Amino acid sequence: MTSQETFSPQMSIPDHQARDLTAGGQTAHILLDGQTYTLRITRAGKLILTK
């Protein structure tokens, strides 16, 4: 972002519920450019993303 650009509501970032991504479980696989990442919800309710 340059000094002339500012954040506006029209440029919002999409929200995704982690529990929806994991289908109510603890883990989900996320694919990006042929690479698989694992999203995990810990017992403490934190998110961990690993390759």
Give yes or no for residue 48 having a pLDDT over 70: yes
CA distances to 26, 27, 35, 41 from 44, rounded to whole Å, are: 12, 14, 27, 8
User: Does position 25 have pLDDT exceeding 70, yes or no?
Assistant: yes
Q: Across-strand partners of 41?
A: 47
> What's the pLDDT at 38?
98
The arithmetic mean of pLDDT across residues 13-36, rounded, is: 96
The reported pLDDT for the residue numbered 51 is: 96
Percent of the chain scored above 70 by pLDDT?
A: 80
- Residue 5's pLDDT is 58
> Is the pLDDT confidence value at 2 over 90?
no
